[in-house]
Amino acid sequence: MTAPRGPGTPTGPALGVLRRIAVTRPDAPVGERCEMCAAPIADEHSHVVNMAGRQLMCVCRPCYLLFTEPDAALKYRAVPDRYLSFPDFRLGPGEWDGLEIPVGLAFFFRNSEQDRTVAFYPGPAGATESDLPIAAWDSVVAANPALRTVVADVEALLIRVPTTGPGGAECHLLPIDACYELVGRLRRCWRGFDGGQDARRELDDFFARIERRSAAAGEGGAL
C-alpha cells in the first residue's frame, strides 16, 4: 500500500529529478586525498616539500613524479625514499654537547632557503628547533665526510646518542617525512623530560625498522 503524499511532496518531473540526483550523487570521500589534484591516496603515500611554506604535502604518485628532478628550480620538491646507515660514524667526546642538543636524539637537514643546516629534536610539543652552532656541526661533518651526501630540504640525518648504557652514537640518512613521523609518534607518548619508557620503546621500534630498510653508505654504490 502506497502511503499518501503530504503537502509539498514532489511528484511527476520533480520526483524524477530527485531520483536522478540520488542515483548519480558521488560517494562521500573516504580516506586521504592528494593535496594537489584531490585524487584518493592510500595510507602509505608520497610527499613533496612546499619550498615557500616549508610544508610537507601528501600527494598521489603522478603528482609526486612531477617534482623529482633534483636540479630543477621548482616550487615543490619530491621527498625521496632513500635510507642509509653510517656504520663508521664517529662522534668524539663532548661533540654532542657542543651541538647544544638537550636530548639524545635530533635530526639535521640543509635548509636551502636559509643556506644553512638546521637541527630539530623531539619533545612533548613536537619538533623543536635548536640553535645549532654551525662550527660544531661542520666539525662533525669533517670527521664524517659521507654525511655530505644528504639532499637539501628533503633528506635528513637522524643521530641518536645513548644517554645510558653501552654503545656509541648512530646516524642514519632518511627522508625528511620519516623524521616528522617519528616526532609525531614520540609526541603522543612523551612523558617527563626524557620521554619516559613508552617513548624509548617507540624509538627502539623505529630504529629497528630503519635498520632493516637502510643500506650501509658506500655499500653497493649507495651514497
pLDDT at 30: 60
Question: Is 86 in contact with 172 (CB distance < 8 Å)?
Answer: yes
Q: Reply yes or no on whether the pLDDT at 5 is more than 70.
A: no
Share of the chain above pLDDT 70, in %: 81
Whole-model pTM: value is: 0.80
Q: Reply yes or no on whether the pLDDT at 50 is more than 70.
A: yes
Q: Reply yes or no on whether the pLDDT at 123 is more than 50.
A: yes
pLDDT band at 190 (very low <50, low <70, confident <90, very high): confident
pLDDT band at 21 (very low <50, low <70, confident <90, very high): very low
By residue count, the chain amounts to 223
Q: What's the N-to-C CA distance of the chain in angstroms?
A: 76
* Spatial separation of the C-alpha atoms in residues 27 and 127, rounded to whole Å: 37
